Structure 1
Amino acid sequence: MERLIKEVRILKIYSVVLTILCFMFIFLAFRNNPEQHFKEIDVERINIVEKDGTLKMVISNKERQHPGMVNHQLMKPREREAGMIFFNSKGDECGGLVYDGDAKGSGMVYSVDQRNTDQIMQLQYSEATGKEKGRVYGLKLWDRPDDFTLERLIKVDDSLKKLNDPVLYKNIWAKLTKEGKLGRERFFAGKTADGDVGLFLRDDQGKVRLRIYVDKNNKTHIESLDDNGAILKNNY
């Protein structure tokens, strides 16, 4: 009996030692061969980082998508579509690619962000389902001020929400929009929801001033507009 107990004890020790050796072998194998080849992998999110841990890119599904960062500080949780989000060494989100499509519609956007603020260039596509698709796609550009950064915008938004005054909130945002603090669209090249294909240029107030396009009836247009949107010159 004592001999049996002794042999069982030896087997336990042997088993533990063998398990440790196996783990060490696996660890050393991965350590000595950092470049692994996978034919297929299912993953919800991948973080691309530098050696020091600085985040540079996130590839994620919708549920685990990164909320964004400003000066290495995480933004508040928000719903974002699946895709890729890019980050610079300063710790700011600097662009990305997001997409989705469901029973209500489809869309995809590739964005390039201005330093310290939001997007200034987008390659975009969107459409709804049904008879009125509202399909729009093309290249869009914005101007954004240097003195009203995304970090400042977030602070203003947080402060206004704490006041719990919907009217004041709406008025302040209308004022910021009028002053151009939220950016102004300047350029669009693509197809509009009305079926026009061409170039649409806006002034520094965001008003359309020049349209060069072919309409859905294949008629060509070159239109200059005044501040109120009235056509000054129309060449066919």
Structure 2
Amino acid sequence: MEKLIKEVRILKIYATLLTIVCGLLFILAFKANSSVEHFKEIDVERINIVEKDGTLKMVISNKERQHPGMVNHKNMKQRERDAGLIFFNSLGDECGGLVYDANEKESGMVYSIDQRNTDQIMQLQYLEQAGKDKKRVYGLKLWDRPDNFPLEDIIKFEDSLKKLNDPVASKKAYAMLREQGKLTNERFFAGKTADGDVGVFIRDTKGKTRLKLYIDKNNQTHIDNLDENGNVVK
């Protein structure tokens, strides 16, 4: 009888320990399968935000590990880029980003929005040159980019000119593109210029300034209507 009681007691202890172990394993398994992790602080050089299928959507990176950019799901050639955020769309193209940095000579921050299949068409920017002749520019800038000259073609065009290593031929090639309407043209700037003027500056389809509404560094107001040659129209 005493032997039976002792065996029953051992079985109870075993069952209790087994229950505790199973419970701990269940909790650990649940935590391992949880889709949400909580960190109070984390140091990281780069974070890739991807879709479920692995498609890259955003990169948060330091300068050394920054993404070079992507066109049609293909990475561009490695190049130096500042730390920040780079966005990618479902077409496999870079479509904008936020970069920033500063050193002894200059500093700046730029938020860019890219046109489909090509480069930026809108930027919120701050740029400053340090030193005695300090120049500071900040504001909103817009560009026009043609639909028939995508970024892939621009890269091929520029690579072919680099291989030629002929400044005269390069100048003629760019002039031909301008005649064909394939070059980018700045159209609008609202902000502060390097000369200290604060206002709105609008350009025509050829990139020539045609209207300026601003206050200069001496607090004088200006509304200038310009012709194609930059002359004031009275």
- TM > 0.5: yes
Distance (whole Å) between structure 2 residues aligned to residue 177 and residue 65 of structure 1: 32
| Structure 1 letter corresponding to 2:109 | M
- Counterparts of 1:167 and 1:25 in 2: how far apart (Å)? 73
Q: Which amino acid aligns with 2:69?
A: G
Residue in 1 aligned with 2:5?
A: none
Equivalent in the alignment of 2:199 = 198
Distance verdict in 2 for CA 1:131–1:164, change over 3 Å: closer
Partner of 1:220: 221
Q: Secondary structure at the match of 1:231?
A: coil
How much does 1:107 deviate? 0.4
Shift, 1:158, TM fit: 2.1
The share of aligned pairs that are identical, in percent, is 72
Q: CA deviation at 1:131?
A: 2.2
1:59 matched to 2:60:
yes
Is the deviation greater in 144-153 or in 30-39?
30-39
**Distance in 2 separating the partners of 1:157 and 1:28:** 55
CA 1:78 to 1:130, structure 2 compared with 1: closer, same or farther past 3 Å? same
Counterpart residue type for residue 205 of structure 2:
D
> 1:78 aligned to 2:79?
yes
| Cα offsets for 1:50-75 (capped at 9, x unmatched) | 00000000000011000011100110
**What letter is aligned with 2:35?**
P
Output the CA distance in 2 between the equivalents of 1:175 and 1:232: 30
1:137: how far off?
0.2
Q: Structure 2: state its 5+ residue gaps.
A: 1-24
CA distance in 2, matches of 1:93, 1:27: 40
Compared with structure 1, are the counterparts of its residues 170 and 29 closer, same or farther at alpha carbon in structure 2 (3 Å cutoff)? Answer: farther
Q: Secondary structure at the match of 1:172?
A: helix
Q: Give me the TM-score of the superposition, normalised by structure 1.
A: 0.84
Aligned residues: 210
Question: In structure 2, what is the Cα distance between the partners aligned to 1:193 and 1:77?
Answer: 31
Aligned to 2:183: 182
1:122 aligns to what SS in structure 2? strand
Distance 2:123 2:132 in 1: 26
Structure with bigger gyration radius: 2
CA distance in 1, matches of 2:77, 2:89: 19
With over 3 angstroms needed to count, the CA separation of the structure-2 counterparts of 1:81 and 1:181, relative to structure 1, is same
Report the equivalent of 1:168: 169
Task: Determine the structure 2 residue equivalent to 1:128.
Answer: 129
Gaps of 5+ in 1: 1-23
State the SS of the aligned residue for 1:226: coil
Distance of 1:209 and 1:114 partners within structure 2: 24
